[in-house]
């Protein structure tokens, strides 16, 4: 397996990294936008996707990103430096688009000045000890901030104040947590605590359900996810299909990737529990629900 530094498309600096996402590229070609633009109003072409922590405490079966992350680094960088390096990295990644046909040049210029950061590229961002300060550094530069966490660090969930806070769930019980998330230690109690602390967050709160066909989309999963969601009382729930991509193909099969109709069907089961489908994106195989 290639070391992470050799993986195409990643700009790496010490323990942090940046990578342009598929939807940024599609938006530059006027071929569509990320469901986050449709649901939440952020602009796909001005979104910076990054991580401040190239390490993770879980090895989830659905993760399409490389799990063999850089474990060794020379101390934690300060937040301001990470912001500076991430902006430089984004500009380097975008520079190649100037020679590409079919690119919207107006959008490309705007993309060089991102105003939204998705702290969710890979790894577990709450392992970076200065994450609250990093979020504030981005905010001071006019960024909206979306943070995605696996919920294993409840103290950090309580401290951070992003524009939008996600807890991403694939497991609906302790047993499924151990099987699907393959944690380095049993973090189920910490995830439960994070859901409780999320309830009091002043950020916009979202629970993201990663749905794997044949694994976590039955009635038992509906019951389990409903219990977890009600602990956090989020503003929204995203029911999103697992995508058969990257390294996950070593652990799952193509038939484990739900069609959009499967996601809608699962969402309708949640609706029987009192939820409402408020939007959907067929292209991204995701439904947005609220309680």
pLDDT in tens, 114-130: 999 999 998 999 999 99
pLDDT band for position 4 (cuts 50, 70, 90): very low
Residue 253: give its domain's CATH number: 3.20.20.70
pLDDT tens digits, one per residue of 196-217: 999 999 999 999 999 999 999 9
Question: The domain containing residue 72 runs over which residues?
Answer: 4-290
Q: What is the pLDDT of residue 221?
A: 98
pLDDT band for position 259 (cuts 50, 70, 90): very high
Please report where in the chains the tokens 């001071």 appear, as a residue.
Answer: 140
Distances (CA, A) of 58 to 67, 84, 246: 9, 28, 17
pLDDT band for position 6 (cuts 50, 70, 90): very low
Q: For residue 83, which of 21, 137, 125, 20 has the smallest C-alpha distance?
A: 137
Its pTM stands at 0.94
**How many domains is the chain built from?**
1
256-270 mean pLDDT? 98
Residue 23, pLDDT above cutoff 70: yes
pLDDT band for position 218 (cuts 50, 70, 90): very high
Structural contact between residues 4 and 10, judged by C-beta atoms closer than 8 angstroms: yes
């Amino acid at each position: 397996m290639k070391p992470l530094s050799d993986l195409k498309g990643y700009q790496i600096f010490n323990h942090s990294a940046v990578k342009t996402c598929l939807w940024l590229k599609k938006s530059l070609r006027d071929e569509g936008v990320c469901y986050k633009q449709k649901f939440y109003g952020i602009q796909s072409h001005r979104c910076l996707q990054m991580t401040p922590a190239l390490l993770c405490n879980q090895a989830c079966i659905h993760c399409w990103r490389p799990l063999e992350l850089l474990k060794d680094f020379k101390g934690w960088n300060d937040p301001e430096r990470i912001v500076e390096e991430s902006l430089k990295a984004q500009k380097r990644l975008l520079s190649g688009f100037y020679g590409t046909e079919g690119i919207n040049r107006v959008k490309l210029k705007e993309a060089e000045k991102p105003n939204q950061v998705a702290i969710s590229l890979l790894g577990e961002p709450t392992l970076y000890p200065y994450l609250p300060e990093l979020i504030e550094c981005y905010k001071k530069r006019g960024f909206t901030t979306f943070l995605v966490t696996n919920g294993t660090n409840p103290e950090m969930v309580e401290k951070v104040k992003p524009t939008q806070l996600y807890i991403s769930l694939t497991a609906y019980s302790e047993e499924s947590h151990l099987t699907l998330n393959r944690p380095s230690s049993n973090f189920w109690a910490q995830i439960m605590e994070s859901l409780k602390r999320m309830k009091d967050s002043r950020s916009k709160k979202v629970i993201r359900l990663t749905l794997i066909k044949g694994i976590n989309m039955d009635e038992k999963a509906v019951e389990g996810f409903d219990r977890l969601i009600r602990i956090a009382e989020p503003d929204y729930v995203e029911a999103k299909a697992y995508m058969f991509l990257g390294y996950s193909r070593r652990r799952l099969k193509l038939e484990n990737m739900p069609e959009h109709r499967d996601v809608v069907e699962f969402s309708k089961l949640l609706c029987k529990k009192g939820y409402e489908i408020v939007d959907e994106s067929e292209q991204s195989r995701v439904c947005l629900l609220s309680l």
